[in-house]
A and B are shown apart, each in its own frame.
Chain A
Amino acid sequence: MITAERKPLSEIKEMIAPYRKVLVVGCGSCVAECAAGGEKEVGLLASALRMDARTEGRDLEIKEMTLDRQCVYEFIDQLTEFIDQYDVVLSLGCGAGVQAVAEVFPRAIIVPALNTTFVGETKEAGLWVENCRGCGDCKLGFFAAVCPITGCAKGLFNGPCGGSQDGKCEVDPDTPCAWQLIITRLEESGRMNLLDKVYPPADWSKQQGRGPRKIVREDQKI
C-alpha cells in the first residue's frame, strides 16, 4: 500500500486560511489502511478544524466526503456536483489522489492534508514499514525476497557493508540489516550460489524514467 502521515494541524490551517468553505476529501484505499486519510481521519480532521475555527471566532463551513479511490476518475466524479460550492478541497489522499483530483477539476484549488511517504506493509498495529521503491525492475528473486534497494540504507546490491553488526543496520539500530536477512534466508534455503556473481549496476532509468513513468497496456484500452 501507499502510506502517508497527516501534516501538522498548523500547516493545514495555514494552507486553508484564505478560504471559508472547505471540502475535506478522504480516500478509502491505502491511506485508510494506514489510518491517515480514510473516513475516520476525515471526520477527526474536520472536527479539529471546526473546533479551532470556533475557538478563534472564525466562520468555517466544512463538508466531509470519502471516495473509495481518490486516484481513479470514476470515483473522483462523485465530487462533480459539490466542488463548485467550495472554495478549496483539502485532500486526504496520497500524492496521486491530490493530483488526480486537480487534473479532473483544473479550476478548483486543491491542497494536501497528508505527507505521502512510501510503499510499504502493515507490520503490526501502529507500525508501517517501507519495503518497495518501485524501481521498475524487481530483483527480489535474487535476494531471497528482501529488497536491498529499500531495506539497505545504502541500497547495496553486493552487500553487506562494514557496518552490519548483530543483524542490525549501523544507521538505525532498530532496523534489521537487509543483507543479514538476505544471507540468512539464502543460507537456510541452500541458495547462497545466488550471491556468487557481482550483481551489475542497476538500470535506474526504469525508476527515474524521463520524468513521470507510464504504463501503457493496449489490451486494457477500450
Chain B
Amino acid sequence: MKEESRLKNVLQGGHFAVTAECGPPKGADPKAIQKKGKMLKAFVDSVNVTDNQTGVVRLSSLAACALLLKDGLDPVLQMVTRDRNRIALQSDILGASALGIRNILCLSGDHQSFGNQPQAKGVFDIDSMQLIQLVRQMRDKGVILGGERLTEPPHLFVGAVENPFADPFSYRVLRLEKKVAAGAEFIQTQCVYNIVRFKEWMEQAGDCGIPEKVYILGGVTPLKSTRMAEYMSKQVAGMDVPDEIIKRMKSVPADKQREEGIRIAVETIQALKGMKGIHGVHIMAIEWEDVVPQLVEEAGLAPRPTV
C-alpha cells in the first residue's frame, strides 16, 4: 500500500485544510529547510515548496521536498514550466513519486526577467494547463507524452493555482474551470486581501459547480508593514490590496504593524473559512514562516486533524 497524500486525506475527510508555503534557502545547507519544516509540522497539513520563485536560484524544490518528507511532513512539490522542458518535467514527476512525494502543484512560474538570472532562456515548452493534464495522464493512464507506457505510474495529488485578481476578470472563472477540466484536484489561490472581489469570484465559480469538483484553498499572506502593503498593491501585477487594508496598516505605529498584519490575516482566514465552497487556506508568509503557528492558532485551526 502506498503512502497517500495527507492533504488529500484531510480534504477528503471533510476537514478545513491548512497548507503553508516554505521557501528553500539560497544555498546548499539542508538545515534551513529542516528548521522551517520542524516549526510548521504541527500546525499545517502540508507544506508547499516553491520552485525558484520569482526566478531566483534556490535549493531545488524536489530536494527540499525530499528533506521535508524525511522529517515526516507532507510536501507539495511546486513545479514550474519556466525552467524545464517536457523531458525534464516528466522525469522529475517520476522522481518525485519515487521519493514518496505525493502532491504536485503545477505552475508556469514567474518570468525569468524578474529574478537574479534575467539572461536565462525561458523554457516554457509546455504551460501550466498542459502540465496538469500531463501529470494526470501519467498517473491515470500510465503513459507519457507521445503515448509510451510507464513501468509504474507516479502517485500524485494534482494541484493548480488561480489568481482571481488578475485580468480579464470575466475569464478567471472560465480559466479555473479549464484547469479543473484539465485535471486539477485542488486549487491554491493568489493571496486574498480583497474579500469582496474574491467572494464575487467564488460565487461565479459556485454557479459553475466548480467547488463540487475541486478543493479550493484560499491564499493568505500576512503583511509585515505598510511598505509591504503598498509594494504589493503597486508593484506586484495581479495583486489586489484595497485602500482600506493599506489605511489600516498605516493607522498603527511602525512597531505594531506586524501585529496588525497578523490580525488582518487571521480575519481573512476566518472569512475564508465561512465562505461557501472554500475547503482550506494556503498561508504564504514570505520569509516569515515562523508566524504561521500563531496565525493557525489564532484562527482556531490548531491542532490539525489526524488522518
Q: State whether these chains interact.
A: yes
B108:A156 contact, CB within 8 angstroms: yes
How near does chain A come to B15, taking the closest CB pair, in angstroms? Answer: 27
B134 surroundings in chain A (CB, below 8 A): 201
Known: A159-B127, A171-B111. A165 touches B145 (CB 8 A): no
B130:A165 contact, CB within 8 angstroms: no
Known: A155-B124, A165-B238. A198 touches B163 (CB 8 A): no
Is A154's CB within 8 Å of the partner chain B?
yes
Kindly supply a per-residue 1/0 record for chain A positions 159-189, scoring 1 wherever the CB is within 8 Å of any chain B CB and 0 otherwise.
1111111111011000001001001100000
Is A142's CB within 8 Å of the partner chain B?
no
Which B235-261 residues have a C-beta within 8 angstroms of A?
A: 237-238
Is B166's CB within 8 Å of the partner chain A?
yes
Is A117's CB within 8 Å of the partner chain B?
no
CA distance A174 to B129 in the complex (A): 26
B162:A162 contact, CB within 8 angstroms: yes
CA distance A156 to B161 in the complex (A): 15
Known: A160-B166, A165-B238, A166-B167. A154 touches B82 (CB 8 A): yes
B167:A201 contact, CB within 8 angstroms: no
B127:A158 contact, CB within 8 angstroms: yes
B108:A180 contact, CB within 8 angstroms: no
B127:A154 contact, CB within 8 angstroms: yes
Chain B residue with minimal CB distance to A192?
A: B174
How near does chain B come to A123, taking the closest CB pair, in angstroms? Answer: 22
Is B122's CB within 8 Å of the partner chain A?
yes
Kindly supply a per-residue 1/0 record for chain B positions 250-276, scoring 1 wherever the CB is within 8 Å of any chain A CB and 0 otherwise.
000000000000000000000000000
How near does chain B come to A198, taking the closest CB pair, in angstroms? Answer: 5
Q: Is the interface of A mostly helix, strand, loop or mixed?
A: loop
A153 surroundings in chain B (CB, below 8 A): 111, 113, 122
Which B124-175 residues have a C-beta within 8 angstroms of A?
A: 124-130, 133-134, 145, 161-163, 166-168, 171, 174-175
B168:A157 contact, CB within 8 angstroms: no
CA distance A18 to B122 in the complex (A): 38
Is A8's CB within 8 Å of the partner chain B?
no
A198:B178 contact, CB within 8 angstroms: yes
B168:A184 contact, CB within 8 angstroms: yes
Chain B residue with minimal CB distance to A161?
A: B108
A170:B133 contact, CB within 8 angstroms: no
Give the number of residues in B that approach A within 8 Å (Cβ atoms).
34
A167:B181 contact, CB within 8 angstroms: no
Is A15's CB within 8 Å of the partner chain B?
no
Is B63's CB within 8 Å of the partner chain A?
no
Known: A153-B111, A159-B127, A183-B171. A164 touches B166 (CB 8 A): yes
Chain A residue with minimal CB distance to B131?
A: A201
How near does chain A come to B234, taking the closest CB pair, in angstroms? Answer: 11
Is B58's CB within 8 Å of the partner chain A?
no
B166 surroundings in chain A (CB, below 8 A): 160-165
How near does chain A come to B20, taking the closest CB pair, in angstroms? Answer: 20
Chain A residue with minimal CB distance to B161?
A: A162
B161 surroundings in chain A (CB, below 8 A): 162
Chain B residue with minimal CB distance to A204?
A: B125
* Partner among A163, A164, A200, A201 whose Cβ is within 8 Å of the Cβ of B168: A164
Known: A157-B130, A162-B161, A198-B130. A171 touches B171 (CB 8 A): no
Chain A residue with minimal CB distance to B164?
A: A162
How near does chain A come to B71, taking the closest CB pair, in angstroms? Answer: 31
How near does chain B come to A165, taking the closest CB pair, in angstroms? Answer: 5
Is A195's CB within 8 Å of the partner chain B?
yes
A201:B124 contact, CB within 8 angstroms: no
Is B182's CB within 8 Å of the partner chain A?
yes
Chain A residue with minimal CB distance to B129?
A: A158
* Partner among A156, A166, A167, A171 whose Cβ is within 8 Å of the Cβ of B127: A156
CA distance A156 to B162 in the complex (A): 15
Residue of B122, B127, B166 most packed against chain A (CB within 10 A): B127
A201:B126 contact, CB within 8 angstroms: yes
Kindly supply a per-residue 1/0 record for chain B positions 225-238, scoring 1 wherever the CB is within 8 Å of any chain A CB and 0 otherwise.
00000000000011
CA distance A153 to B82 in the complex (A): 11
Chain B residue with minimal CB distance to A167?
A: B167
CA distance A26 to B20 in the complex (A): 60
How near does chain B come to A160, taking the closest CB pair, in angstroms? Answer: 7
Is B5's CB within 8 Å of the partner chain A?
no
A156:B124 contact, CB within 8 angstroms: yes
Pairs of residues from A and B, 5 with the lowest C-beta to C-beta distance, nearest first: A162-B163, A170-B237, A158-B129, A163-B237, A156-B127
- Mind listing 20 A-B residue pairs with CB under 8 Å? A153-B111, A154-B82, A154-B127, A155-B122, A156-B128, A157-B129, A158-B127, A159-B127, A162-B163, A162-B238, A163-B163, A163-B238, A164-B168, A165-B166, A183-B168, A196-B178, A198-B129, A201-B134, A202-B125, A204-B125
Known: A163-B163, A202-B125. 16 other contacts (CB 8 A): A153-B111, A154-B127, A155-B122, A155-B124, A156-B124, A162-B166, A162-B190, A162-B238, A164-B167, A164-B237, A167-B167, A171-B111, A183-B168, A184-B168, A198-B133, A199-B129
